[in-house]
Chain A
Amino acid sequence: MIREKRIILRNSGVIDPGSIAEYINAGGYKGLSMALAGTPGKVVEEVVASGLRGRGGAGFPTGTKKQAAAGKDAGTIRYVVCNADEGEPGTFKDKAIMETNPHLLIEGMIIAAYGIDSERGYIYIRGEYYDSINRLQNAISQAYDRGYLGTDILGSGFSFDLEIKPGAGSYLCGEELTMLESLEGKRGYPRIKPPFPAEKGLWGKPTLVNNVETLANLPGIIEHGSAWFRSSGTESTPGTKIFSVCGDVRNPGCYEVDAGVILDDLINDLAGGTRNGKPWKAVLLGGAAGTFVPYSCNDLSLCYERLKERCATLGSGAVIVVGSGRKLIPLMQSILRFFRHESCGKCVPCRIGTTYIHERSLEMPGAGHDPRISILEEMVNHARQMATSSLCPLGQSPILPLETLQRHFSESIATE
């Protein structure tokens, strides 16, 4: 029987998220004072040594990003932007952090800013997250009152201002460069990469973009050190990870565990097992832009290394459980409808392609066994072409669920 290992969520349900005093009593803002007592370089060094990887989906080493953002053009304006757009279906872990432990994110942002010498930061948050916005707004005012934000923070000479910016309902704006466009008051059309945000980000200035959960890991890393951080998780994925488990499980919710947790332990020990008590049929890991795994992968360890070996992805940490009685075609259609709806239409392969593969999926229920297999194959081929010719990562995403559906479930799809 495994148990949760709450580090990021340690205050959830324990302290009043509306009270900075309770956060401080629980040891909060200690990481920040320790960071400010040392040099910015020391902060970056510690994050590099921790091996922390981005929790927003791509798993990029956070320390490397910080080095890149810190190293560009000494003396220039730099920004820190927190990605709180959380739009990947099945993902709701950032909301849990912001609503139950908002000061941890703020503390993490100030530490990140100190590390790269940035004086201004933004939290770009989904417009629909009203409760998170209110919680954060309240927490930010408290942090200003106590001198954790603003000029000359805790007498260190370092200054940092932080503001919340709401999004307005666009999945694509969660992609980091598109988010910066949106932050500049524009439509959410992606920018061409490279340059990366660390080189040319907000208003063309070096910008560090990190996910909520990534930033929330920084206070602990600074307070307890990188060796402590590495004592959780695995070699390839140090630390804890918050998984948002949903779908056909008895107790859907956010569970923070050692990265590398065994998939079935997460589902059975923490999420209460499947609703009908039978072995699950499939799990969609990482949301719509994620990968399907079959029950034979129930012993899979959820860390980057092991998942890569089995051609699966961790993504944002969404674990969508599909019970034994479910059909997969409607789920596939729903995923493809999502991409069709969220395609911004700027480039042809994705605009036409997301519509085409969705339309093809609608033909499936009326088709027989062999035609279904060949429709699926045509869809996969089309999605593969989209992956190579689309302008941004959204058009490169539908191949992930489609290819894994084909690999593991084509017979089940042909006969359901």
Chain B
Amino acid sequence: MDQQEIFTRFSPDRTNLLAILHALQDNHPQNYLTEESLRAAASYSGVNLSWVYGVAGYYSMFSLEPRGRYIIRVCNSPVCNMMGSAGLIEALGSVLGIGAGETTPDGLFTLEEAECLGICDVAPAMMVNRRVYGNLTRKSLESVLKEFRMMQNERK
């Protein structure tokens, strides 16, 4: 989507700033906020660039660096941790060959450690972009990854 089109969905009211940043980030294939998009958001919202940088840097859902097409956010808060999330992050890391905070070289996956995602009833849990996965085991993790790889191949 064209960036200008995104702005037309929001009034320039500052209460919309986070929503605008979400929309700009979601619109980028690499799931991040470019300097250009931050500039556009700043001028649209009537604040200066350093303000928007400060905001984008503060919130954990925003990224100022390019990320993968699929963001894997594994919850490592107390309930998921108790139910084994640390092992899952490790397993995911070794299958993907990356550590938390890193992106696979093919640009497909970024692995992130997240705080409680509000799905503790199915702990250990994670989200991949907007989808929720719970009661995870090493085995079910691999089939989730497979699913996304297949989706990607179909795309190609």
Question: A334 near B18 (CB under 8 angstroms)?
Answer: no
User: Interface readout for B45-84 with A: 1 if CB under 8 Å, 0 if not?
Assistant: 1010001001100111110000000000100111101110
Binds A, one of B90-98, B103-111, B122-130, B137-145: B122-130
Is residue A326 contacting chain B, with contact meaning CB distance below 8 A?
Answer: yes
CA–CA, A117 and B78, complex, Å = 41
Chain A residues near B122: list those with CB within 8 A: 252
Binds A, one of B1-9, B113-121, B146-154: B113-121
Chain B residues near A187: list those with CB within 8 A: 54-55, 58-59
Question: B14 near A185 (CB under 8 angstroms)?
Answer: yes
Question: A184 near B15 (CB under 8 angstroms)?
Answer: yes
Minimum CB–CB distance for B108 against chain A, Å: 21
Question: B54 near A338 (CB under 8 angstroms)?
Answer: no
Chain B residues near A246: list those with CB within 8 A: 79, 120-121, 123
Question: A90 near B61 (CB under 8 angstroms)?
Answer: no
Minimum CB–CB distance for A228 against chain B, Å: 30
Q: Choose one: B14, B76, B130; the contact of A184 (CB below 8 Å).
A: B14
Minimum CB–CB distance for A284 against chain B, Å: 7
Chain B residues near A372: list those with CB within 8 A: none
- A residues sitting closer than 8 Å to B (CB atoms) are 86-92, 95, 122, 126-130, 163, 165-171, 182-188, 244, 246-248, 252-254, 284, 287-288, 318, 320, 322, 326, 330-331, 334-335, 337-338, 341-342
Known: A247-B79, A326-B82, A335-B78. A169 touches B18 (CB 8 A): no
Question: A169 near B82 (CB under 8 angstroms)?
Answer: no
Question: B118 near A169 (CB under 8 angstroms)?
Answer: no
Known: A88-B116, A91-B118. A185 touches B78 (CB 8 A): no
Question: B115 near A87 (CB under 8 angstroms)?
Answer: yes
Chain B residues near A91: list those with CB within 8 A: 116, 118, 120
Is residue B88 contacting chain A, with contact meaning CB distance below 8 A?
Answer: no
Minimum CB–CB distance for A360 against chain B, Å: 18
CA–CA, A187 and B16, complex, Å = 13
Is residue B136 contacting chain A, with contact meaning CB distance below 8 A?
Answer: no
Residue of A nearest to B13 (CB): A185
Chain A residues near B45: list those with CB within 8 A: 185
Question: A128 near B61 (CB under 8 angstroms)?
Answer: yes
Minimum CB–CB distance for A327 against chain B, Å: 10
Is residue B21 contacting chain A, with contact meaning CB distance below 8 A?
Answer: yes
Question: B55 near A128 (CB under 8 angstroms)?
Answer: no
Minimum CB–CB distance for A206 against chain B, Å: 17
Q: Choose one: A168, A183, A247; the contact of B60 (CB below 8 Å).
A: A168
Question: A334 near B77 (CB under 8 angstroms)?
Answer: yes
Question: B55 near A90 (CB under 8 angstroms)?
Answer: no
Question: A168 near B120 (CB under 8 angstroms)?
Answer: no
CA–CA, A259 and B21, complex, Å = 40
Known: A92-B121, A170-B58. A165 touches B79 (CB 8 A): no
CA–CA, A326 and B22, complex, Å = 39
CA–CA, A330 and B121, complex, Å = 20
Chain A residues near B47: list those with CB within 8 A: 185
Q: Choose one: A171, A184, A287, A330; the contact of B82 (CB below 8 Å).
A: A330
CA–CA, A89 and B121, complex, Å = 11
Question: B62 near A338 (CB under 8 angstroms)?
Answer: no
Chain A residues near B21: list those with CB within 8 A: 168
Question: A90 near B18 (CB under 8 angstroms)?
Answer: no
Q: Choose one: B22, B78, B83, B116; the contact of A127 (CB below 8 Å).
A: B22
Is residue B17 contacting chain A, with contact meaning CB distance below 8 A?
Answer: yes
Question: B59 near A90 (CB under 8 angstroms)?
Answer: no
CA–CA, A280 and B83, complex, Å = 15
Residue of A nearest to B85 (CB): A334
Chain B residues near A126: list those with CB within 8 A: 118
* A-B CB proximity, top 9 nearest: A185-B17, A168-B59, A185-B14, A169-B60, A169-B61, A89-B116, A334-B81, A252-B121, A187-B58
Chain B residues near A335: list those with CB within 8 A: 78
Residue of B nearest to A248 (CB): B82
Residue of B nearest to A290 (CB): B78
CA–CA, A177 and B82, complex, Å = 31
Known: A185-B47, A188-B58, A330-B81. A87 touches B116 (CB 8 A): yes
Chain B residues near A163: list those with CB within 8 A: 15
Question: A89 near B15 (CB under 8 angstroms)?
Answer: no
CA–CA, A253 and B123, complex, Å = 11
Residue of B nearest to A189 (CB): B58
Question: A288 near B19 (CB under 8 angstroms)?
Answer: no
Question: B59 near A185 (CB under 8 angstroms)?
Answer: no
CA–CA, A123 and B21, complex, Å = 18
Question: B83 near A128 (CB under 8 angstroms)?
Answer: no
Question: B15 near A188 (CB under 8 angstroms)?
Answer: no
Chain A residues near B127: list those with CB within 8 A: 128
Chain A residues near B78: list those with CB within 8 A: 89-90, 284, 287-288, 320, 331, 334-335, 338
